Every structure is written in C-alpha cells, then in structure tokens.
Structure 1
C-alpha cells in the first residue's frame, strides 16, 4: 500500500516540479533486518523519489556500508541525508520516519537544497557567518505535532546556511533513550550542542541568541 496517497502524490509532484531548479540526492540508511520504521521510511523516500526527475535516492546498509556511515556520521537509523547536485552535504538530517506533519519538513528540506532559497533574516545570516566551530542542533518531534515542522525547518535552514552547523530531526518515540537523555516531555524540543534546551517552536530571533550562547558556554 502506498504511503503517499494518490491525491497527495499529484500535489507533491507539482510542488517539486515548480520548486526544484537543480538535482537533489537523498541518502537513506537502513539495515538488512530492518529496524522499526526502517521499511516504512525506505518506502516513503522511494515513493517520493519517483515523483521528480530531479530527485535521486541511494540506500545504504547501516552495518555493511560502514565507510558511508562514517562519512556522514550516522549513529542511528532510519536516517535520511540530503545532498546537493554536486554531492555536497547540507548538514540536514532526519532520524526516524518523517511522517505525518514531518513529511512537510522533508519536502521543505528537499526544496531548500534544490533551489537554495533561504528565508532567514539578514541579522540571522550575519550571526551565522560568525560561527567558526561545530554546532549540532537536534529537534525532537512527533509525527502528530503540528508545531514541530517550524522548528525543524528553521534548524535545517541554519544548517544549509553554514558549513559548521548540522541539524537533525529526531522522532522522539523511535529513540526513547534519547528522549529520556534530553528529558523530552513535550515537542518540539531543541537541543544545541548538548548544552542549551529550547521548548517549543521559537522564531529565529529567539533561537539565535541561545545558539550563540551555547557556543560561548562551550568555550568556558
């Protein structure tokens, strides 16, 4: 059974045709004996890749393809990485199935890499340009959370804007050990460099000072 309904397939295909000006590559990480939601995640990205000639999909085994796993620092599955047409890593990650409301986050990430249209403010971009050390953003979500995509899209835009930033969508119910570690009681919950925790889908003018503070704290 298709995971993307026929009516939605047409809408997604039209959206991608209008928005993608250059090719995008999806890397999906699973394993031979597929984990919970690995099969569904693979099916979802396979169906999605079929909707646009600009999309290609490569599927890797988390165990067998060790070199690729290390190259992209994949530490859990299912995982999705998005690359541009030249194979450059945009720092955008999805851990867990991007289903429900998070399907929109996946589409937005693909369109971002496929057209480069950032919606970040000039002041945010100025701050991002000053970053010269690694930043790891994790946004914990659930598929039924209508506010979560805003937090995920913002994190992914920041990752796209800076080679120093990596931003992960993490589906909280699929990784309960991480949800417990980071005390995820509600979603979205954003974790920056293991130090700063942000509740809710905050705008960039709220997120950025806390991100910069996380870097300052990391130096102390």
Structure 2
C-alpha cells in the first residue's frame, strides 16, 4: 500500500508521537480487508509506539480499524481504507491520538473540551472528495479532545448497502446520534458553532467591541486574501470577515493554470492563502456573513452589518464575496438537492457507481464532469442549452471517444423528477422542435457556471444586470471608499490568478484613497470615544 517514499515520510511524522497507540483491526475475508490489514501492518512497523491488534466484533463494520490511545478512552475509527484525499486524515489521526498537539487555537480547543453531552458522529466520505477531509479531520480532533465525542469515518463507496439504506447521495454527509447532522464541507469552527448554541452570540459581542479598521475586506477567497495581504503590508489596520476562508477555491479539485505552480488542489491552496494572511497582523473574523453595506456618514466610516446582528466599521472596504454554483431554477431541484441533485462530481460521483446520471452544462466544467463520471457510472447524458458544446476542443474530443456518454444540445431542462426520497429522472424541452422529453436516471450534476454573492448589496452598490459589482480599472465601485475584486465583479474572466491581481489592485486603491482622506482609524476611534 505504501511505497518507499511514503513510508519514509510517514515514519518521520510518527517520530512526533508522544504516547503509545494501538491499531485495532476489524477484518473479514474480503480483498479490501486484506489490503487494509497490509496497510496497518506497514504502519505499525514504522514506530515502536504503535501496536496492532485484531478484534472480530460482530457489530463492527468490516473492514475498519480504530486508532486508540493506550490506557484511555481516546480514539477514532475509519471504516474503509483512508488513502487518496483521506491519507492526510489518517496521518493526523495517528499523531493526535498519539498526543501530538493540534494547531487549532487554544480558545477553540477549550470550546470543544467544554461541550456538554454525548455525541456519536458518523461521516460518509469518498476518496475522491476534496471537501471530505476537512470534516473528517475536524470530527476526529473533537473525539481526541473530548472523550464524550465518538467519530467513525466511512468510505461510502465501500459500504454501498449502507449508503443505499440511508439514502446518502452527497458527501460528506454527517450523522449525529443516528440522525442527519449536516452535509457538505464544514470546518471545526462551523461544527462547534452548531453544537455550542451560545457561540454565535459570543462572537457577535466580540465583534461589537472592535475598533474601526483602515481597510476591511469582506470575503476570504483569492481576491480577499490578496487584498488583506497588500493592505496589511502598508502597516494599516486591516480586517477580513469571511463566511468561509478559501471561498469557491475549496470546491476546486485540480488547479493546473496557477502560474509557477504546475499542479495543486483547491483545499491546499486555500490553506496556503489563509496561512499567508495570518503571517501579517490581520484580524481574521471567520464564519461571518455580511447582510448590509452602509456608506460612510459624518464620521467618515463605512459600516458592514453582519447576519449575527453585529457590525464592523472601516474607513475603506474591499468587497470580494465571490460566487457560488448557479442552479437550474426548475421544479424539483431544491427538493432533491443532495438526494440526487449534486454540484460536485469529484465528491459525489463515487456514490453513483453503476447508475445513470445527467450532467447539465456543456462548458469546460460540464464536459470535464461528464468525462470523470463516465469512468464510474453506467451512462452519462450531457445536456447543453446552446446549439453546441462550449468546452475546449481537446475536452470535446475526449468526450466523444467515450462509449457510455450521450450529448444532447439545444435542450432546456424543465423539471427534476423524484419519488419523494431520491431523483428518478429529468424532463427537458427540445428548443428546436419544442417537444418535451423525459430521461430516467438517478443523479443530476449541475455545472452551469457561477452566480455572484451580491444580493446583500442591492440598492447600495451599482450592480450589472447579471448581479456583478460594477468596478473601474482601479477596483472602485459606485460608493466612495468601497472597492471590489474577484468573481463578484464585472471582471471579464473568472480565474484565480486574475482574482488575486484584482484583490491586490483593490487594496492598493483603498490605500491611495486613505492617504488622500482624513485621520487613520485609530485616531477616529479615539476622537469618537472622547
């Protein structure tokens, strides 16, 4: 399972173990159990602090294994073989159960330790899902910090009967004490905030006590991160309020056009962005969703109101709220979201193994999704509104070479069909002949572009007919002192490298605005207090 290079790297990590741990395997006679057994033997041989045991409990999933701290109730469990994107989760679980400290803030760690109650979490993941490790790692850490929290991470592709019985059609899907807790990417902060009902109120109180900023960045994607770094480097008071740091990049599987970096993955880039911002004196306020922008009044301060009831003030603002997946907007789509309607083929594709699915959208994203899914599912129908596909020719050639893919153009999707529990089909209209058609299928992957996150700005900042923030070549919006950058704006190309450049431009423009205006934020705060 582990090549020589990976063994060497893992052995170096395992030298950080502080306390002895025991790997407890639950295996049967299947091929996957043999693979898991071989992996566990390799791991145990890499450190004298690791022992391997076998336990054949009838009520335990097979193949699975626990990582337990010897002489304690602390441990985590994996049902399946945590390779692929989950190999990092495995390494972290080994280290944390073995006593190596987490890098999370002490405040958040104490919040987990103080959670009152018994929590039994189950997380369904797929090895190709780039969103799943965040959830798996967060819940694993929680079970290490608090013995009343238990967690098992389950490979949905390996436990297909369980997935079918529970109607799991999207990963990560998290169950708490037998009931669905949540679906999709979640950070440790988000999970704890959902369990700790007083967390939102406490966060709002902390925000209310903050002094005004010189530059306040709203949004934590590539544009927002670049803006925060460029502003902070000027030595001015900088804050960043983000609903989730990384933004849409977190949902990007492979990035191969980020100049000077031949290949990376979205979550890896997002983590690097956040760490770079933290290298500077930037006040990062995560899990904060903006609800209203109030232009500067007599005090010269722009106000950003948040959904938790608090507000932030700043002498200038950079809006970088990004975009989200565009939905079809047809009957049945919302009802069957995560019940067959999906937006991430890399994450959820393995759950549809051997089934019939449709991909909506003939651009690069749609065609790439159809190509990827064709290797997993029995049949893919790609539906495009236009009269021809819009993807790059190299992708179209690959698509046409696949025997289990059908392409339908000039088609308008009109309804998602289901039986109340899951998707059963899709209705579309032929835009040429006008006839209505029905396709029997079990999954629909929507890949029709992005929608800017700007609804909260309507009536305050000038928006384009598509809802994008209108900016000039300096990133200036229609509101003095308010600048914008990234996918939420009228910039013509929605690319990571372009968003970073635009964020830098917006921050430099904000700084230029500040040096031509009145006193710095700290002086404004002191004057107001006086």
TM-score range, shorter chain: 0.7 to 0.9
CA deviation vs aligned residue, 1:94-147 (integer Å, no higher than 9, x gap): 111112222221111010011241344445444434434321111111122223
Measured in 2, the distance between the counterparts of 1:196 and 1:211 equals 14
1:15 is matched with: 13
Measured in 1, the distance between the counterparts of 2:31 and 2:108 equals 37
User: Larger radius of gyration, structure 1 or 2?
Assistant: 2
Question: 1:141/1:126 Cα in 2 relative to 1: closer, same or farther (>3 Å)?
Answer: same
C-alpha RMSD of the superposition: 2.1
1:217 is matched with: none
Measured in 2, the distance between the counterparts of 1:181 and 1:85 equals 35
Compute the TM-score of the two structures, normalised by the length of structure 2.
0.35
CA deviation vs aligned residue, 1:149-206 (integer Å, no higher than 9, x gap): 2111100111111111101110101112322243322222222223343222211222
2:330 is matched with: none
2:187 is equivalent to residue 208 of structure 1: no
2:26 is equivalent to residue 29 of structure 1: yes
Measured in 2, the distance between the counterparts of 1:117 and 1:129 equals 14
2:51 is matched with: 56
Question: 1:126/1:23 Cα in 2 relative to 1: closer, same or farther (>3 Å)?
Answer: closer
Query: Which deviates the most, 167-176 or 189-198?
Result: 189-198
Unaligned runs of 5+ in 2: 198-530
CA deviation vs aligned residue, 1:3-41 (integer Å, no higher than 9, x gap): 101111111111212x2122211111113xx13511111
Question: 1:42/1:209 Cα in 2 relative to 1: closer, same or farther (>3 Å)?
Answer: same
2:157 is matched with: 173
Question: 1:123/1:22 Cα in 2 relative to 1: closer, same or farther (>3 Å)?
Answer: closer
Query: Which deviates the most, 187-196 or 167-176?
Result: 187-196
CA deviation vs aligned residue, 1:39-66 (integer Å, no higher than 9, x gap): 1111111011111122111122345xxx
2:40 is matched with: 45
Unaligned runs of 5+ in 1: 64-73, 214-220
Higher helix residue share: 1
Measured in 1, the distance between the counterparts of 2:105 and 2:168 equals 29
Whether contact under 8 Å (2:135, 2:188) holds in the other structure is no
Whether contact under 8 Å (2:61, 2:79) holds in the other structure is yes
Quick one: which of 114, 118, 140 aligns to 1:134? 118
Alignment of 1:50-129 (within 5 A): 50-62=45-57, 75-86=60-71, 88-129=72-113
1:37 is paired with a residue whose SS is helix
Query: Which deviates the most, 106-115 or 53-62?
Result: 53-62
Whether contact under 8 Å (1:120, 1:157) holds in the other structure is no
